[in-house]
Amino acid sequence: MRAFIDLAVTGNGQPVSLASIAQRQEISISYLEKLMAKLKKAGLVESVRGVNGGYTIAKPVEEISVGDVLRALEGELIPVECAGIDESHTSYCSGSSQCVSKIVWKRINDSINDTVDSIKIGELVAEGRGVALSGSGNK
């Protein structure tokens, strides 16, 4: 997520090199290559070849949610599986219709998904640029 936000904040529609992202975010280039491959496959970034190449955000940041990025990198977001105890109290819930705790976990999962889907990358970019501007005045 940090690398994607960095790309969105610093890119301004221009390609950003992995080396520059790696340096700013203190992430290895090899790890960034793997992340960018997943983001590219999901249609969230595009690669630009050449001397001034790098990566760009593939569509307007106002259209991309945090959930889109997380799903591209991690797969479906299922933060908590039902962990209720079955009737014998010896093993985890099998997901039966009598399991009441699955209602709780479903609501938690739904809430997390709703939250990450409601946060747009554009909001984070604006906030990131604001932090950068306020930080530059303090030096």
Quick: pLDDT tens for 20-77.
Answer: 999 999 999 999 999 999 999 999 999 999 888 899 999 999 999 999 999 999 888 7
Q: pLDDT tens digits for 94-119?
A: 555 666 777 888 888 899 999 999 99
Percent of residues, the chain, with pLDDT higher than 70? 78
In this structure, which amino acid lies at residue 92? Answer: Y
Residue 48: which domain range? Answer: 2-133
> Is 85 within 8 Å of 91 (Cβ atoms)?
yes
Q: In the predicted model, is pLDDT for residue 91 greater than 50? A: no
- Give the predicted TM-score (pTM) of the model: 0.77
- CA dist 93 and 79 (Å) reads 17
| Overall number of domains in the chain | 1
Q: With respect to residue 139, please indicate whether it lies within any of the assigned structural domains.
A: no
pLDDT given at position 89: 44
* Cβ neighbours for 107, distance < 8 A, ≥ 6 positions apart: none
Distance from the Cα of residue 9 to its chain's centroid: 15
pLDDT-derived band at 131, boundaries 50, 70, 90: low
* Sequence-ordered list of residues with C-beta below 8 angstroms from that of 20, at least 6 positions apart, any chain: 10, 54
> Alpha-carbon distance 75 to 72, whole Å?
6
Question: Which CATH number belongs to the domain containing residue 74 in this structure?
Answer: 1.10.10.10
